[in-house]
Amino acid sequence: CFFKTLFSLPFTSSFPLLLSLRRGQASVSYAQSLLGAPETRLTTLSNGLRIASEETNQATCTVGLWIGCGSRYESEKNNGAGFFLEHMAFKGTKKHPQSALEQAVESMGAHLSAYTSREHTAYYMKTLAKDLPKAVELLAEVVMSSSLSEADIEQQRSVVLRELEEVQGSLQDVCLDLLHATAFQGTPLGHSVLGPSANARTLTRNDLVEYINSHYKAPRMVLATAGGVNHDDLVALAKQQFSGVSFEYEGDAVPVPSLCRFTGSEIRMRDDEMPLAHIAIAVEGAGVASPDIVPLMVANSIIGSYDITFGGGKHLSSRLARLAAELNLCHSFQAFHSSYSDTGLLGIYFVTDKHKIEDMMHWTCFCCNIDLTKLTASIHTRTHSNFKTCFFFLSSGTTPVCDDIGRHILNYGRRIPLAEWDARIEAVTPRIVRDVCSKYIYDKCPAVSAVGPIEQLPDYNRMRSAMYWLRF
């Protein structure tokens, strides 16, 4: 996935340091490039809306509106409303019908997109820097003045239902949604982003309007930009287009996400006709603002990932990846740490043959026990280098940078500079990795989801016992 991202990004926006070397500035060091990163400027309007920008000397820019709402803020009745609204956003506004909106975007050669997650919603546009005023105007219309006509709602209802059917065919998405459902059962964080098909069939225009009125408030919005933009000009545009966004709630009923408790538990969906087993196992992780977040990211990088199409075999940096290649343990695996505002999931997802499930479980525990407790200096150095390469590279290009800015302002109230991230990563020692992993993994009850031919998946109590024997 990383290398796919690596080669899909434009050379000019993804490798600014290499370009500077080509221009004869070979004396620029790694530390200097971090300290020389553009400053992220932040301004807050009187209604609470925040404007954040990173200005670079580019002809293009990405501008978007990041909103602090998602499926975690939904109830059983309206779960999926945010995702439904994402589909409705580009179907016309009160000022522009769909055809006029599409023509306006097309005439700029821009790309308009959106996404919804469990805690965030984003609407953003990549365009030429000279078209920033028009882009901000269209974004304001799309988010705050969507027409939500009954005819469009019925048309998009069928589109959403088709997408739900397609997602059911993505077993990774199904498995990880089931993992959230069991790990955070009885809490809003257990909701899927797309919502159930029953809700997609019954959501009304009033439900969507109520969702907008409840969550699309100025203090929960960030207008973020990256690229060839001027911050002062952006602030002036924001005042013009977003000063009227409300900051008040009816009866002061400010939606606050409820505490999402973690429950050690499991969901099994056995189907012996499926060719491969899809299994995810996780313990409760750290929230985005926790000081443990970086050590857990480093630990996650040590376990790494693997796909049967990878080259390298026994020379792969991850011990578990080498074993997977040598012993044919699985088709793929991915260590992950999904962080939310106050909690997270730290675990591994793998796809394997039904006869290799127990072997994969055994060697996963073995590698966690060895690599996270007896971290050698060479592995530690290599992991730091690999982690920083992936981390910093995925912060290149105006769109990922803009997304980074929007999420950081919502999560931390500021954009954390690359130099600060680098210092945090360098401060992680083998002892810190061991202590933090002991805190989150040792003797904890895991959450498990499994789909497919999973007859050989060990009993839950056996998996629970394995966590006890992970000595840090």
pLDDT bin (cut points 50, 70, 90) of residue 5 is very low
CA separation, residue 451 to residues 84, 197, 287, 354 (Å): 27, 20, 27, 11
The pLDDT of residue 34:
73
Q: How far apart are CA 361 and CA 277, in angstroms?
A: 12
Cβ contacts of 310 within 8 Å, gap of 6 or more: 316, 321, 325
Report the candidate in 399, 415, 61 with the shortest Cα–Cα distance to residue 230: 61
Q: How far apart are CA 47 and CA 322, in angstroms?
A: 54
pLDDT bin (cut points 50, 70, 90) of residue 27 is low
What is the percent of the chain where pLDDT is above 90? 67
- DSSP 8-state class, residue 219: G
111 - beta bridge partners? Answer: 126
The pLDDT of residue 471:
61
Residue 76 vs residue 1, higher pLDDT: 76
Three-state DSSP class for 44?
A: strand
Which string of DSSP letters, residue by residue, matches 413-465?
SSPPPHHHHHHHHHT--HHHHHHHHHHHTTTPPPEEEEEES-TTSPPHHHHHH
The pLDDT of residue 314:
79
The set of catalytic residues is 86
Average pLDDT over residues 167-189: 95
The answer on pLDDT for 22 being more than 50 is: no
- DSSP 8-state class, residue 183: H
Cβ atoms of 413 and 434 within 8 Å: the answer is no
The answer on pLDDT for 17 being more than 60 is: no
The pLDDT of residue 256:
72
What is the percent of the chain where pLDDT is above 70? 89
pLDDT bin (cut points 50, 70, 90) of residue 448 is very high
The pLDDT of residue 370:
81
* Most confident by average pLDDT, 1-10, 246-255, 347-356, 437-446: 347-356
The answer on pLDDT for 7 being more than 60 is: no
Three-state DSSP class for 70?
A: coil
The answer on pLDDT for 153 being more than 60 is: yes
Lowest mean pLDDT among 21-30, 91-100, 146-155, 240-249: 21-30
Which phi-psi region, left, alpha or beta, contains residue 251 (left: φ > 0; alpha: ψ -120 to 50)? Answer: left
Residue 208 vs residue 36, higher pLDDT: 208
Q: How far apart are CA 354 and CA 276, in angstroms?
A: 6
Every domain range in the chain assigned CATH 3.30.830.10: 39-246, 265-468
Residue 317 vs residue 255, higher pLDDT: 317
The answer on pLDDT for 180 being more than 80 is: yes
Average pLDDT over residues 242-254: 79
The pLDDT of residue 380:
67
pLDDT digits (tens, 9 = 90+) for 271-297: 999 999 999 999 999 999 999 999 999
Fold of domain 39-246: Cytochrome Bc1 Complex; Chain A, domain 1 (3.30.830)
Average pLDDT over residues 364-379: 79
The answer on pLDDT for 324 being more than 70 is: yes
Average pLDDT over residues 229-253: 88
The pLDDT of residue 203:
95
Q: Which CATH architecture has domain 265-468?
A: 2-Layer Sandwich (3.30)
pLDDT digits (tens, 9 = 90+) for 219-228: 999 999 999 9
The pLDDT of residue 4:
36
The answer on pLDDT for 447 being more than 70 is: yes
Q: How far apart are CA 232 and CA 409, in angstroms?
A: 18
pLDDT digits (tens, 9 = 90+) for 392-434: 666 678 999 999 999 999 999 999 988 888 889 889 888 899 8
Write down the mean pLDDT value for the chain: 88
Report the candidate in 435, 433, 117, 467 with the shortest Cα–Cα distance to residue 283: 467
